[in-house]
Structure 1
Amino acid sequence: MGRRMLAPGGLVLLLLLPGMAAFAQTTPLKLFELERLELNPGAEGSLIVGMGELLQAGQFRTSAVAHYSHRPLMLFREGKATAVVGGRSTMHVSAAYSLTNWLQVEGQLPLVLLQQLGPSAPNPESPKSFVLGTPTVGLRLGLLTQDEQGGVDLAVGGDVGLPVGSMDAYARDAGLRVSPRVMVGRRFGFFRAALDAGLMVRPGGRVTDVNSEILDELGNELRIGAALVTTGRRMRWEFNVRGMVPLSQQPGSVEVLPGVRYLVNPSLEVFALAGVGMGKTPGTPLFRVLAGGSFGDVTPRRGPKESSVRCDMGLSLSPEECPEKDDDGDGVRNLDDKCPLVAGDPARAGCSRTDTDSDGIEDSLDACPTERGDAARQGCPVRDQDNDGVADEDDACVAEAGPAENRGCPAPDRDKDGIHNDDDACPDEPGPPERQGCPEEDTDKDGVPNREDTCVHESGPQSNLGCPEHEVPQVVIKPRQLELRGKVFFEASQARIQQRSFVVLDWVAKVLREHPELPRVVVGAHTDDRGFAEQNRQLSQQRAEVVRRYLIDKGVAAERLDARGYGPDKPVDSNATSIGRENNRRVDFMIIRDGDESSAAPRK
């Protein structure tokens, strides 16, 4: 305790010269402000340290703080300390008002209530009570605000100390003091941390003219504060550390001030702090005790993912404002309760098994709990004003019935075949979609449409593919291929067609001649996997070209035929058995229509 000294940086520590009385009579101290305590007028987070938060637009806060500092000003000589000011009781009044969410004005007014001057005081007759200190006014500008996505609270500001305090009670500087500062804070769950850094610019110079060896200069300094506070409760705790880094020949100092604050009601808060000081800077006491109250908009704002402080005050609040409470008493927090005002089953997220609309979907899962609906629509009914079977959400013509393929709008269809006139190649004659709305062609009038009739110019039953009953057709017309009822055989390892295959190929040529609507056909030749794959591909290509040439010789237009040899690349059966290999050795006839990807391949 006895080693607390004054040093350059506010008032510098003075070494007592022999004869304390003589020193007191001949070395008066010059003007300076002893008090180092600064309050946080808005006090959203800490009472002492700025945390980057501002009051909301139109809110105000007024605080009255009584505090006592023990031995804030001492002189020493040869290790012996003598108190110039043994104790000091001060009343601080502060106020803050926010013009907007990002601009706040503030001020502080200290009043020295009682000052105990020691025998070494230069002027023991100086005023000891009810002395005005240095008032300050300032602005605070909010730059960033923490939200649900994260971030920090960031503000900058500045205070000006006015030289209007008492001249004889260590309560006034010789001129203006200016303190620009930056404040940043962030919430971490139930607590909040902050850092406040500022530059104190004040009148400097020698305090006394005693001895050139005595360090007694006032000067500028860097003031740094840090705070850790709890949030979201009616009673909150805070831990503050305030320090000074000198920018001239004065020692540094640190004060530690833990405290507690309690919200009496939404407009009144009381608080108390106590702590110790370390260092020789004038104004740094051995210990300090504070107590006071705040009035106005003192209820802390609800932070991200945090309960309102008012939840602990017995007020009627919404479940959203108090997510940690259980308003319906069902054992599920409001935050997790999907039915926070009705007691329910914890296993059902706090909801009961109620099904108001009896649609089989309980209310907790029903997006339309008073209207019957299906599970696919989360319990909501299908809205279909025009009753066309197209839900209103998908219906481009809500008031007019129309098919789903036309987005619920009516489609002009003169022949009533279900195909819009714009898409119907025969709008006045009904026909199937595969013929673009045109009626089926049946050249031989045997009841078998040409698209399925292997014998277009000869009548025959459907069971015989439209061919006369005395004939055995070898080709079945499918939508994507000509399916053979026989097989195309070649001489072994050669591209020569065996004579027994001519019947099948003649039927293929007949079908292609009688069906000019088939634009192109790919003659595909395949082998099994025995031998070299590349040789098999070459052989299959040669066989495909031989078949193509045969069909051309039978009257099929060359431009309608492609020849492609696939070798072993497209098996239809396993090559592990003789039967499988036989099945893989084949020739097929694939129909290529406009728009097919394969139609782009070069013709052979």
Structure 2
Amino acid sequence: MFGPVALVLFLALPGMVAFAQPSLRGFELERLDLNPGAEGSLLVGMGEMLRAGQFRLSAVGHYSHNPLVISREGEGSTPIVGGRATMHVAAAYALTNRLQLGVQLPVVALQRGEGTSRTGLTSPGSFGLGTPEVGLRLGLFDQNEKGGLDVAVEGAVGLPVGSVEGLGRDEGMRYMPRVMVGRRFGFIRAGLDVGLLVRPVARISELGPAGVHDVGNELRVGGALVSTGRRLRYEFNVRGMIPLSGQFGSAELLPGARYLVNPSLEVFALAGVGVGGAPGTPLFRVLAGGSFGDVTPRQGPGETSVKCDLGTAVDQVKECPDRDYDGDGVMNGVDSCWDKSGDVSRGGCPRADTDTDGIEDSLDACPTEPGDAARQGCPMRDQDKDNVEDEQDSCPAEPGPAENRGCPLKDRDKDGIENDQDECPDEPGPAERKGCPEEDSDKDKVPNRIDVCAMEPGPETNQGCPEHEVPLLSIEPRQLKLINGAKVYFDPNGARIQQRSFVVLDWVVKVMREHPEIPRVVVGAHTDDRGFADDLRRSSQQRAEEVRRYLIAKGVASERLVARGYGPDRPVDSNATSIGRENNRRVDFKIIRNGEEATDAP
């Protein structure tokens, strides 16, 4: 009986012990995150942005010592994770000059610590995937030659897809909005990075207050000083954490160096120490790696371009202002002859006077042609020898008086207007038309502006119409005037146009269609004063609109016609006589020019 029971206990006991063994809860242990664009610091955002279309891919291997340690009374400190080697991949791509996408992916390659017998916890996995992070950075301001700051904001999201056993995953999503500010001071750039990490709050083990610390929300602050303008650059990074949910604070100091191998490859290494009890803060950390892509930093205000060290600078004066390529003691930025050795007193140029005019070449605007000092060493240019300098001569190849800007007085079309004031120098025309001839479509020597029959030749005495026709209107500057007894008749006390008026209105249609230069015409209907004024205005408006409809039906564009009923308000004769009243009962056609209002038509 005792034998079978003992056998069962012997087989079940290890499983019962394992079942009772405390374990670590899932959380992201790694505290190191990279600056994917790395235009300034490798670890701290400084407000800098890649240019549109540029990308950078970085691969970093790093080792952290004692990133997770527990302390127990009477037992000292025991490393749960004594050493951790991680491969960290980061990439950045600039969608525009102001918008940059960044991604990071840590992978735990090796992780070791004390065994279960000492820690009382299950050992974490030796390798696994960390928490991938995706961020979008928006550049707000750029430092320029006049000063200012580099300012950017970013929102990043950590995805809970890492390895729980490898301490590479929180229990949910993690978020980190951040603000980055930076400024260049000559060959030094300084920056500050402040972010709020929002992550699931949890105690990572059940060992109690004397066990492993909590994790939760925290404020992450980073500062950096970096050198600029050289292939070999140095940086000093400080990264700290201020807890917001009961955990311990921490900080890391990480100085390092980076070297630009060529325009597409950079290598770097950093090492530093950590202080504080927050999980993930190592006793020391060492990291090294390389970046590929658009890794040559752009030249900032007050900086020397790294291209000067690479030998790829195109404009040595602007890109390498603090270099002295000709060795004359005058820096390129202020050396007027940066490729020739000269004197400091001559701005870095040698003394030379090629044209022997007594003015040094460095001060001579025309060093190969003798001239006087008043023209900065240049001779007087006067190609046509008219004593008017070519720079002030409107006709440098033709002699002319100075009062005519060096041009000869000419009048090719013999219209009495000089060519330089004649808008049509090859066609005679009156001065009021700036020397251009008047339009005459039918070539009858009657200008279109007064030609009632613009498409048929006729004498001016007949309004430009053929002699067999009797025009019923004339074209005046302000109106189409009815002539030869023409008048528009309506039915008594009504608005219907009498048939005998159709021939008159057809002449109006003819002129409007043949003269598109007439912009608009106000069809004005008038009455005598017999009756109530408001009734007369209303009936005259109806008559004006009836005439407008007739003209539109005959092919005149509606936007060229405005109907106005004036009633008795604008008499042209006395209403005391029957003849006067007859004259006041009329329809007129006033021309409205550009800029005039139809309501103000005379």
Give the structure 2 partner of residue 27 of structure 1. 22
Structure-1 residue corresponding to 2:73? 78
Partner in structure 1 of residue 482 of structure 2: none
Measured at CA, do residues 125 and 316 of structure 1 come closer, stay the same or move farther in structure 2, by a change above 3 Å? closer
Q: Write the distance in 2 (CA, Å) between the matches of 1:121 and 1:171.
A: 20
Write out aligned runs for 1:108-127 (5 A): 108-119=104-115, 120-121=118-119, 123-127=121-125
Contact kept, 8 Å, 2:321 with 2:331, in 1: the verdict is: yes
Q: In the alignment, which residue of structure 2 is the partner of 1:299?
A: 296
| Matching of residues 251-400 of structure 1 within 5 Å | 251-315=248-312, 317-320=314-317, 321-395=319-393
TM-score of the two chains, using structure 1 as the length reference: 0.61
CA spacing shift, 1:122–1:264, aligned 2, 3 Å: farther
Identify which of 14, 31, 38 aligns with 2:33. 38
Distance in 2, Cα, partners of 1:218 & 1:124:
19
For the 8 Å contact 1:138–1:158, the answer to whether it is kept is yes
Give 1:342 shift: 2.4
Selected match of 2:54 from 50, 53, 59:
59
Amino acid of the structure 2 residue aligned with 1:27: P
Seen in structure 2, the aligned counterparts of structure 1 residues 88 and 403 have a Cα distance that, compared at 3 Å, is same
1:196 offset after TM fit, Å?
0.6
C-alpha spacing 1:28/1:383, structure 2 compared with 1 (3 Å): same
1:309-349 C-alpha deviation (Å, 9 max, x unpaired): 12123446432222222223333221121011223333322
Q: Tell me if structure 1 keeps the 8 A contact 2:23–2:205.
A: yes
Judge conservation of contact 1:206–1:218 (CA < 8 Å) in 2. Answer: yes
Q: Matched residue pairs, number?
A: 391
Aligned-residue offset at 1:142: 1.1
Counterparts in 2 of 1:31-180, with a 5 A limit? 31-78=26-73, 80-119=76-115, 120-121=118-119, 123-129=121-127, 131-180=128-177
Deviation at 1:45?
A: 0.8
Using the TM superposition, give the Cα deviation of residue 127 of structure 1 relative to its aligned residue in structure 2, in angstroms: 2.1
Bigger relative contact order (CA 8 A; separation at least 6): 1
* Distance change in 2, residues 1:396/1:153 (3 Å): same
In structure 1, the residue matched to 2:203 is 206
Give the whole-Å Cα distance in 1 for the aligned partners of 2:272 and 2:133: 24
AA partner of residue 81 (structure 2): V
In structure 2, distance between residues paired with 1:68 and 1:26? 29
CA distance in 2, matches of 1:85, 1:205: 19
Contact 1:110 1:135 (8 Å CA) reproduced: yes
Q: % of aligned pairs identical?
A: 65
**Would the aligned equivalents of 2:213 and 2:248 in 1 still touch at CA under 8 Å?**
no
What's the Cα RMSD here?
2.6
Q: Which runs of 5+ in 2 are unaligned?
A: 1-15, 411-602
Of the structure 1 ranges 335-344 and 235-244, higher mean CA displacement relative to structure 2 is found in 335-344
**Would the aligned equivalents of 2:57 and 2:91 in 1 still touch at CA under 8 Å?**
yes
Q: Structure 2: how far apart are the matches of 1:295 and 1:328? A: 34
Alignment of 1:511-522 (within 5 A): none
CA distance in 2, matches of 1:215, 1:276: 21
**Larger CA Rg, structure 1 vs 2:** 1
Q: Does the residue aligned with 1:376 lie in a helix, a strand or coil?
A: helix
Other structure's SS at 2:332 match: coil
Q: Is the 8 A contact 1:85 1:121 kept in 2?
A: no
Question: Tell me, what secondary structure is at the counterpart of 1:199?
Answer: strand
For residues 193 and 212 of structure 2, what CA distance do their matches in structure 1 show? 29
User: What is the CA-CA distance between 1:388 and the residue it aligns to?
Assistant: 3.5
1:178-234 CA-to-partner distances (Å, cap 9, x unmatched) read 111111110001101000111101111333344478785432111110001111111
Where 2:309 maps in the other structure, the secondary structure is helix
Taking the aligned partners of 2:401 and 2:287, their CA distance within structure 1 comes to: 80
Correspondences of 1:449-464 after superposition (within 5 Å) = none
Give distance in 1, aligned partners of 2:278 and 2:160: 20
Q: Which residue of 1 aligns with 2:551?
A: none
What CA distance in whole angstroms lies between the structure 2 residues aligned with 1:209 and 1:234? Answer: 51
Identify which range, 256-265 or 390-399, moves more after superposition: 390-399
Offset of 1:277 from its aligned partner? Answer: 0.9
Amino acid at match of 1:115: Q
Which amino acid in 1 is paired with 2:376?
Answer: Q
CA contact (8 A) 1:117 1:128 kept: no
For the residues of structure 2 that align with 1:392 and 1:108, how far apart are their CA atoms? Answer: 66
TM-score (norm 2): 0.61
- Partners of 1:388 and 1:366 in 2: how far apart? 26
For the 8 Å contact 2:80–2:123, the answer to whether it is kept is: no
Aligned-partner Cα distance in 2 for 1:345–1:216: 69
State the secondary structure of the residue aligned to 2:254: strand
- Post-superposition Cα deviations, 1:411-450, rounded to whole Å, max 9, x if no partner, equal 89xxxxxxxxxxxxxxxxxxxxxxxxxxxxxxxxxxxxxx
- State whether residues 235 and 255 of structure 2, in contact with CA within 8 Å, keep that contact through their aligned partners in structure 1: yes
Mapped contact 2:216–2:245 kept (Cα < 8 A):
yes
Q: Aligned partners of 1:394, 1:245: CA distance in 2, in Å?
A: 72
Q: Deviations over 1:93-119 (max 9, x none)?
A: 111111221111111111111111223
Q: Which amino acid aligns with 2:360?
A: E
| Distance change >3 Å, CA 251–CA 400, structure 1 → 2 | same
Where 1:311 maps in the other structure, the secondary structure is: helix
Q: Give the drift of 1:400.
A: 5.9
> Distance in 1 between the 2:173 and 2:355 partners?
74
Matched residues in 1 for 2:208 and 2:123: separation? 24
Q: CA deviation at 1:382?
A: 3.1
8 Å CA contact retained: 1:215, 1:250: no
Q: Give the structure with the higher percent helix.
A: 2
Taking the aligned partners of 1:213 and 1:115, their CA distance within structure 2 comes to 24
Write the distance in 2 (CA, Å) between the matches of 1:182 and 1:316: 33
| Contact 1:136/1:160 (<8 A) preserved | yes
Identify the residue that residue 3 of structure 1 maps to in structure 2: none
Other structure's SS at 1:30 match: coil
Aligned-pair distance for 1:84?
0.8
Displacement of 1:48 in angstroms is: 0.5
In the alignment, residue 376 of structure 1 is paired with which amino acid? A
Letter in 1 for 2:273: V
**Deviation larger for 195-204 or 337-346:** 337-346
Q: Do the aligned partners of residues 253 and 316 (structure 1) sit closer, same or farther apart at CA in structure 2, a change above 3 Å counting?
A: closer
Whole-angstrom CA distance in 2 between matches of 1:137 and 1:109: 9
